[in-house]
Homo-oligomer: A and B are copies of this chain.
């Protein structure tokens, strides 16, 4: 079995004490989603592969009549995670942002629409920053008490980047608006 980023995401979540596939998906949605989204349909087959490879062990942990599997990393699983964390080669980040693509081609728009586009972009970055600070940072902050500090650091970094982008866009917006007023040229 070839281990990929989702494999390590799951190994890492298990190491943090999360037990079920459903739990991993939920945790990922409020923590790693911004830089590594993952669907449930990815989690379950990946758990099965990791078990086949001997990196995790499964035990039954039903809740009443509702079935539940409890997974834990094996010694080999822990080692695989550590090896990946310490490995030197970094795959370059992979971003797909339709909003930036719009901005890139915004010269085709009349000035008013350019300003509206910039405003929407800024607002969505502001909303993302606010959401991370309100929903994610407090959760991760709780874990910080237990000596797990990197999740909260990553959440703060993400929020700060969104805020930085929002400020940048606000400045550009102001510059463009000022130009429009002084020249009266809407192109």
Contacts and interface: CB of A to CB of B under 8 A. Distances in A.
B172 A153 contact: yes
A142 interface: no
A139 interface: no
Please state the number of chain copies in the assembly. 2
A8 B174 CA distance: 27
A32 B103 CA distance: 11
A165 B153 CA distance: 12
A41 interface: no
Contact of A97 (B82, B84, B94): B94
B81 A105 contact: yes
Nearest to A78: B108
Contacts of A100: 35-36, 93, 154
Interface size class of A (residues with CB under 8 A): 35 or more
B93 A149 contact: no
A124 interface: yes
17 contacts: A8-B105, A15-B108, A16-B105, A36-B97, A36-B98, A82-B108, A85-B102, A85-B105, A88-B120, A90-B98, A91-B98, A104-B154, A105-B150, A107-B147, A107-B148, A114-B150, A157-B172
Interface of A: 5, 8-9, 12, 15-16, 31-32, 34-37, 81-82, 84-86, 88, 90-91, 93-109, 113-114, 117, 120-121, 124, 147-151, 153-154, 157, 160-161, 164-165, 168-169, 172
